[in-house]
Amino acid sequence: MNVKILVHGNSLEARKRSLDHWRVPPSTKAELLRFLSDLELGKVNRGKKISPAAQLKYLSVLKISLEYWNRPTARLSLKHVEHFDRDLSSDRIQAKVKNAPYSHSVKVSIRKALKVFLRWRLGEARAHTLAGWLDTRDQTRTPDFLAEQQVEQLLRKCRTPEQRFIIAVLFDTGARIEEFLNIRMEDVSLPNGKDNFVRITLKEEYSKTKGRTIGLYWRHSVEVVSTFIKARLAEGRSQQDPVFAGTYGATRMFLNRIGVSVLRRRVYPHLLRHSSATYYATKLNRQELCYRYGWRFSSNMPDVYISRAGMENKELDVKFTKTEISDVKDDLVKLQQETKIKDDRIAKLENSLADLKGNLKAITEILQRHPPIKALEAALRKKRSNGTTTG
């Protein structure tokens, strides 16, 4: 049986050991270890087992409030919580590493984790009194992403097939980093017969959501993935071996390094997931997006990327484009009709002119055969004049 490759497994154990250095009472340290154990068992969140990554996040955000108070949890009062939230909201409490205020999303995470911890430690009623009023509403934020052209720039600067595989697969599949690290040789199907695309299975046992099999439709993926898989097979890799043998830390360092070098900005695994969802938002419908990225069909995540890709007005764009085309067609029909009328008029004028030319020719011939009127008049006057003289 394949063993799941954990992104934060070892980090969690190290973080547990670091509790010895927290500025909190010994009783709080013991509570945190029991809290993590119950999270892992699923005893905290209604039977839902919490992953090591989520446990790490709980520790990170709980440390901020618990060190702020530095007092036993059982002795916390409403005023303690009020003072903490006031300082957090006004940015008096800041991130020590960055020496900057916490973002709104981090503040929300701090309050949510505190509510869960106090409910677990003090019970529903007292936890509600102390922290039930905390504002944990999220603010909708447009996700950061890379345009396809920027991803292609990164791909061109890769030095090895392995680096190209990282960029292409993280972008095209939009896989979470733990899903990516757990792709096995047996999970990759190269183009065969009528199938023109690479297909990758992201198994449910390695995913935080539903498993799925997806096609890689980006124009660079077939060449990049085929080259890397064939190289792995030549090395003697078995079907159960991970396709990518690197670690999360090494992958993160590579992406950050190439991002700064090529794009002058930080690039990280989840940024490529954001970029993938934005890229495919213009190409897939809502249900297809949910399946591809492992979202529930009731999730609002597709709407975020559809909006980011400018697809909300697509139907209106099509509608008005059709209206404009229809107007142009109507104008063209009118112009064609007017042109036909003018052509008919010109044809009639040309026929009249031709008739006139024919008549002029006949008149000229008649005049040539008969003497001019002036000559006849002169002859008549002369005849009259001669007759008068004779008489």
For residues 204-231, give the mean pLDDT.
Answer: 90
42 phi/psi in degrees, rounded to 5: 90, 20
Instruction: Say yes or no: 211 and 293 in one domain.
Output: yes
Instruction: Say yes or no: 66 and 159 in one domain.
Output: no
21 secondary structure, DSSP code: G
Residue 362 belongs to some domain of the structure: yes
Give the confidence band of 132 by pLDDT, cuts at 50, 70, 90: very high
Sign of CA dihedral 233, 235, 236, 242: negative
- pLDDT over threshold 90, residue 176: yes
* Whole-number pLDDT of residue 259: 97
- pLDDT over threshold 80, residue 324: no
* Whole-number pLDDT of residue 27: 97
Residue 245 belongs to some domain of the structure: yes
| pTM: predicted TM-score of the whole model, two decimal places | 0.68
* Whole-number pLDDT of residue 316: 47
* Whole-number pLDDT of residue 73: 97
Poorest-confidence range of 123-137, 268-282, 313-327, 348-362?
Answer: 313-327
Determine the structural domain holding residue 377 and report its residue range. Answer: 315-386
Cβ atoms 178, 7 nearer than 8 A: yes
Percent of the chain whose pLDDT exceeds 90? 59
How far is 6 from 182, CA to CA, in rounded Å? 9
Residue 339 belongs to some domain of the structure: yes
Q: What is the pLDDT of residues 11-67, one digit of tens each?
A: 888 899 999 999 999 999 999 999 999 999 999 988 788 988 889 999 999 999 999
Of 291, 308, 325, which closes a domain?
Answer: 308
* Whole-number pLDDT of residue 350: 79
Instruction: Say yes or no: 221 and 158 in one domain.
Output: yes
How far is 279 from 213, CA to CA, in rounded Å? 19
* Whole-number pLDDT of residue 326: 63
Q: In what side-by-side order are the strands of the sheet with 198-202?
A: 188-189, 198-202, 212-216
Angle at 270 between CA 211 and CA 137, to 5 degrees: 90
Q: Which amino acid is at 262?
A: V
Of 67, 100, 131, which closes a domain?
Answer: 131
* Whole-number pLDDT of residue 47: 79
Instruction: Say yes or no: 157 and 104 in one domain.
Output: no
* Whole-number pLDDT of residue 313: 46
Q: How many structural domains are present in the chain?
A: 3
Instruction: Say yes or no: 362 and 277 in one domain.
Output: no
Q: What is the pLDDT of residues 329-347, one digit of tens each?
A: 667 766 777 776 777 778 7
Residue 2 belongs to some domain of the structure: no
- 3-state DSSP of 305-363: HHHHCCCCCHHHHHHHHHHHHHHHHHHHHHHHHHHHHHHHHHHHHHHHHHHHHHHHHHH
* Whole-number pLDDT of residue 97: 76
- pLDDT over threshold 80, residue 121: yes
* Whole-number pLDDT of residue 374: 67
Of 280, 308, 336, which closes a domain?
Answer: 308
We report the CATH number of the domain holding residue 183 as 1.10.443.10
Instruction: Say yes or no: 200 and 261 in one domain.
Output: yes
Mean pLDDT across the chain: 86
Instruction: Say yes or no: 296 and 340 in one domain.
Output: no
Residue of 168, 190, 192, 194 whose CA lies nearest to 180: 168
Q: What is the pLDDT of residues 227-243, one digit of tens each?
A: 999 999 999 999 999 99
- pLDDT over threshold 80, residue 190: yes
Residue 299 belongs to some domain of the structure: yes
Instruction: Say yes or no: 81 and 54 in one domain.
Output: yes
Give the confidence band of 312 by pLDDT, cuts at 50, 70, 90: very low
